[in-house]
Amino acid sequence: MSKLYPIKIGNPAIFLIAVLFIFSGCGNSSVKKETKTTQTKSADPGWILLFDGESLEGWEVTQFGTQGPVQVSDGNILLGMGDGCSGITWESEFPKMNYEVKLEAKKVSGNDFFCGMTFPVGDSFCSLIVGGWGGPVVGLSSIDGLDASDNETYILKKFEHDTWYKIHLKVSEEKIEAWIDGEQIVDFSHKGRKLSIRPEVELSKPFGICSWVTTAALRNIQLKNEPYKK
């Protein structure tokens, strides 16, 4: 594994489950899921479309130095497998608080995270990791210096290849929340906690999405920003 989000042998539960998750999918590797593109042409009411399905306008390919090829193909953003992170970073200003992001992502090949979303929380930054540490780990990195594999947001979830997942992030004055396919997987009160990101994803600020040694596809990236109301 890589140095960014390695499986920690000191945590045997994560290591064992990650291995089981990877090998449990081997028997179904020949079964292909439906991959027909349904990139929307307009944002949902109250939302702003951040990807037009045709170009990387508004984005830049993040120059991690480890990235694979990044391109638009068949209405999707493809993050090619590299030696580390491959991703895109939003070029313009981005809300710091009281906003929501939703997108669809899928793991095309590889067995690590296919959506590492780095985002602002006030003057701090955090990352939502989906499918890390060999494939099953979901959570926030980092909280009080602890990665997603070691803090209270850590959960395990199996992700299939060639399957689209709807990922929804909400950042408010009190909480960071996240859902996958409508199921809430993060409900974290960030007041009084120290949020940070791994140094390898510094170039994803202020807002970026990346994968780790995994080919991933993204579509339907949307943003909603509302003023804080007491």
Q: Distance of CA 132 to CAs 94, 137, 189, Å?
A: 25, 5, 22
Give the mean pLDDT of 20-38. 46
Residue with more model confidence, 88 or 13:
88
Separation CA 119–CA 59 (nearest Å): 15
Does 200 reside within a domain?
yes
Does 116 reside within a domain?
yes
Question: How many domains does the chain divide into?
Answer: 1
* Predicted local confidence at residue 18, as pLDDT: 52
Does 16 reside within a domain?
yes
Q: How many CB atoms lie within 10 A of CB 84?
A: 19
Verify cis geometry, omega within 30 degrees of 0, for the bond prior to 206.
Answer: yes
Does 4 reside within a domain?
no
- Full domain range(s) for residue 95: 12-26+40-225
Residue 140: half-sphere exposure toward Cβ, Cα within 13 Å: 30
Q: Which residues, listed in sequence order, are joined to residue 143 by a DSSP beta bridge?
A: 146, 195
Does 6 reside within a domain?
no
Given a cut of 50, whether residue 3 has pLDDT beyond it is no
Does 35 reside within a domain?
no
Does 203 reside within a domain?
yes
Separation CA 59–CA 86 (nearest Å): 13
Q: Confidence band (pLDDT; 50, 70, 90) for 137?
A: very high
Q: Confidence band (pLDDT; 50, 70, 90) for 40?
A: confident
Separation CA 66–CA 85 (nearest Å): 6
Q: Confidence band (pLDDT; 50, 70, 90) for 226?
A: confident
CATH code for position 183: 2.60.120.560
* Predicted local confidence at residue 27, as pLDDT: 42
Lowest mean pLDDT among 34-38, 116-120, 142-146: 34-38
pLDDT tens for 172-224 read: 999 999 999 999 999 999 999 999 999 999 999 999 999 999 999 999 999 99
This prediction's pTM: 0.85
* Predicted local confidence at residue 9, as pLDDT: 36
Q: In the chain, what percentage of residues exceed pLDDT 70? A: 83
Given a cut of 80, whether residue 26 has pLDDT beyond it is no
Given a cut of 80, whether residue 144 has pLDDT beyond it is yes
Does 156 reside within a domain?
yes
Which residue type, as a one-letter code, is found at position 171?
A: V
Separation CA 202–CA 223 (nearest Å): 21
Given a cut of 70, whether residue 8 has pLDDT beyond it is no
